[in-house]
Amino acid sequence: MERKEAVLLDEAPADGTQGDAPLLLRTGACCHGGAKMAVLAYSLGKREINQHFTIKNAKLISLALVSLLLVFHTASRYYGGGDSCEWLLSRGRYLGENVWQPYGCMMHKYKSNEANTCLAQKRVVFVGDSRIRQLFYSFIKVIDPEQREVGNKHEDISFLHKSSSVNVEFLWYPEANNSMKERLVSWTHEGSLKPDVVILGAATWSIKLRSGSSETLQQYKVNLTAIAVHLEKLADHGEVYWVLQDPVNEEVLSENRKMITNQQLEQYNEAAADVLNSSNRNGRSRVKLLAASRQAALETIAQSDDGLHLPESTRNVGAMVLMNSVCNKILRPIDGSCCQTVPPPNLLQKLSAFFFLGSAVVLVVLHVLGNNRHRRPVPPDVESLEEKKPASAAAPPGSKTLFKALCRMGIIMGYFYLCDRADVFMKEQKFYTHSTFFIPLVYIIVLGVFYNENSKETKFLNREQTDEWKGWMQLVILIYHVSGASAFLPVYMHVRVLVAAYLFQTGYGHFSFFWLKGDFGLYRVCQVLFRLNFLVLVLCVVMDRPYQFYYFVPLVTFWFVVIYATMALWPQILQKKANSSGFWHLGILAKLLGLLTVICVFAFSQGFFEHIFGVWPISTLFELHGSIHEWWFRWKLDRFAVIHGMFFAFLYLVLQKRMLLSEGKGDALFSPKISNVLLFLSVVFFITYSIWASSCKTKTECNEMHPYISVVQILAFILIRNIPGYARSIYSSFFAWFGKISLELFICQYHIWLAADTKGILVLIPGNPSLNILVSTFIFVCVAHEISQITNDLAQVVIPKDSVALLKRLGAVGVFTLGMLLLSRGSHPTPGA
């Protein structure tokens, strides 16, 4: 950096004179100097930011934030009411047209089969006026989407679903009077058939028939007080809901309804809330007030045809709120966090907690015994935000390093558990709009451009460039997930290419290593497998999820093993051997062709695929919800990406060895003519793929073509990025930083950035979505970076370079794993639907 600044400042001649240069040249020199000063200011600005904001300081800030947020949420739940069922019934907002978001929790969208499973053999009764009848119809349409509103007005209506024996009734009682009370009393008698769920509501007819007099309101209170006693008795057997009155559009009400005003309805709602909340001797009524549909109606009542009855979309909100309130605690859908209690931790989760606590105790003991060795603080590298490595060789890591890493991991796993398994932080649903995806995308592009640096090397796909590539791809994928952009097909298809590009890099990188180094030793294999799988295996235990749930890691692990087997099996063909005879080039191509053949056999025979991967104990790695269908789908979708990467690496390395590429600084990769042609074709193919992806009709149609054509856009990007010499000479340090922790970012997002196993969004700052995403993202990135360092530390400790010691540890791990598989066989838990 100092050398660069010296060059930038060295503008004037040594003697300090301007000489006799013409004015034009002097003006040009001035402008050139101004540009250099701008570049210097830009570089110093970045250095100043990094000087005071290191990754170590960022992690300390994130730890403080987590502590404060934990205290805040615990206190707010204890003192302010932390019942998510109450949140569901009373508060919420529209995320967009027809998408209702309850406060602080996620509302599952129930399908017909789920509703029938939940309500099987149950009796649900709606009691009230025409607005309750509307709610009744919306409710039974969840059970049977083909149902039509065929009942007569002002009459009782009955619905019976034969297959599940769900009985739903509507009873016409437009006023809260003695007639309604008598019906409720009849259900409380000994031996009577009591409903499992009762939904009631009435007020508009009382206002209409008596012109909204104050005496009518007083009588309403008296009647409701008498009714409330029997509602409490019914609540002993089932669930009882009182629906607060929805607003009206006074401007379009007919003349005989003009006396129904929103002021009147508000008074009746207050009366109902006062009476029902004081009806129980313990001070807390078991009759639940349904106010969410009223809140939704405040925004949509203008769409009402007659000013009184709600539009269908708003009625559907009320019906789905009821369905979540009744069924979430029964079916426990993962994306329905409202009205769910937290299940107790299982045995493995308890054991993992004791293990991490034990590690912390051992670390304290080692510290007390004096096994800690002090070292000077290492100044941070202000360019990379990382600590500089000491010049001398590091001492081999000891037991303290092991237990310190496990202690840090235990704290992080505690945060994971609190975020996505405990009832501490809130969760919300995803909702896609173009702005929620593309605006953050613009932000990261600007940051990526701001943090650009000169590359240390200008080789084709050099390390800095591949880190940059992984970094920006991972950031795009994160934005895609948090914004719910899978709902927009063109974005979905482009993200599918990014996933294929990751696998392409897997094939390219591992093939290159084995081809050039020929290191097939057990030590490196274990290092790679440990770094890929450590975090996921810990999460499988702590978060109680199967290995296949984190699908990308099994996919990358599987392909690494395939690449290793392809290159290691006889005959082992390396670059050194191939240099002696071109025949060996044909040998490696034959190996790749054989691998391609095996892939095609598996791809075109699903039964054969499922037979192979369905064999125990292999099936335990690839099953999800008791089936390997998800593994089949993921594997098939990008089945050619890895072999594309392997072949491309082979082609590049052969061309490089024959010195047919120009990889010098500033040099185009090929001759000018070939470079221009390839660049033009790359841009054309890149745009062509995007046009095709945007014109696809369905995901099924697009996914069928994806394995064959995704490589087109991948290769187009590689050539555009590498053919011009100036493009290879720079890289974005911002993107490269994220690229180094891309795997941890991908996995951590499941539980501490997203929520409900990626179905929703974690809410740390309620009521402010923008601030929430900033805070949660900051903590999420710091955690991912720390896990990356922990993984590296543990890899050095648990995987010895000595082959005998390594084999002993592998044997112990194998026996332990086999024992765990035998114990868990046939009792593997499955997540909620």
Residues 43, 1 contacting (CB under 8 angstroms): yes
Contact of 499 with 551, CB cutoff 8 Å:
no
Burial class (CB in 10 A: 0-12, 13-18, 19+), 472: buried
Written as six digits, the tokens of 75 are: 């206190």
**Sequential DSSP letters for 488-528:** SHHHHHHHHHHHHHHHHHHHHHHHHHHHHH----HHHHHHH
String of DSSP letters for 416-465: HHHHHTSSSSEEEE----HHHHHHHHHHHHHHHHHTEEE-S---TT-HHH
Residue type, 382: V
Structure tokens at 816: 């332990």
Do residues 184 and 231 touch, judged by C-beta distance below 8 A?
yes
Q: What residues contact residue 672 under an 8 Å CB cut-off, 6+ apart?
A: none
Tokens of 115: 């509703």
Q: Is there a contact between 246 and 294 (Cβ–Cβ < 8 Å)?
A: yes
Please calculate the CA angle 89-95-100 and round it to the nearest 5 degrees.
Answer: 30
Q: Is 117 helix (H, G, I), strand (E, B) or coil?
A: helix
- Rounded CA-CA distance 614/612 in Å is 6
Contacts of 500 (CB under 8 A, 6+ apart): 638, 641, 706, 710, 711, 714
How far is the CA of 378 from the CAs of 374, 375, 821, in angstroms? 12, 8, 44
- Residue pair 692/479 in contact (Cβ under 8 Å)? The answer is no
Asked if 293 contacts 199 with a C-beta cutoff of 8 angstroms, the reply is no
Given the residues 76, 130, 486, 662, the one annotated as active site: 130
Distance CA 669, CA 721 (A): 11
Q: How far apart, in whole angstroms, are the C-alpha atoms of residue 634 and residue 555?
A: 8
CA 319 to each of CA 90, 237, 329, 517: distance values in angstroms, whole numbers, following the listed order: 14, 22, 17, 64
How many other CB atoms are found less than 10 A from the CB of residue 221? Answer: 16
Integer angstrom CA distances of residue 813 from 278, 287, 512: 61, 55, 30
Instruction: Catalytic residue, from 179, 306, 605, 803: name it.
Output: 306
φ, ψ of residue 287 to 5 degrees: the values are -85, 120
| Ramachandran angles phi, psi of 168, nearest 5° | -120, 130
Whole-angstrom Cα distance, residue 143 to residue 765?
36
Tokens 């009230």 -> residue: 128
Instruction: Determine which one of 43, 309, 627, 690 is catalytic.
Output: 309
For 220, 240, 369, the CA distances from 244, given in Å and listed in that order, are: 14, 13, 66
Count Cβ neighbours within 10 Å for each residue of 515-526 and write b for 16 or more, e otherwise: beebeeeeeebb
803 in catalytic set: no
237 is catalytic: no
Q: Quick check: 89 and 288 in contact, CB under 8 A?
A: yes
The DSSP output letter for 99 is E
Q: Which residues, in sequence order, are bridge partners of residue 94?
A: 100
* Secondary structure element (H or E) that encloses residue 242, with its range: strand 239-243
Q: Please confirm, yes or no, whether 420 is among the known catalytic residues.
A: no
Tokens 């930011």 appear where? 49
Q: Within its chain, how far is the Cα of 568 from the centroid?
A: 37
Catalytic amino acids? 130, 306, 309
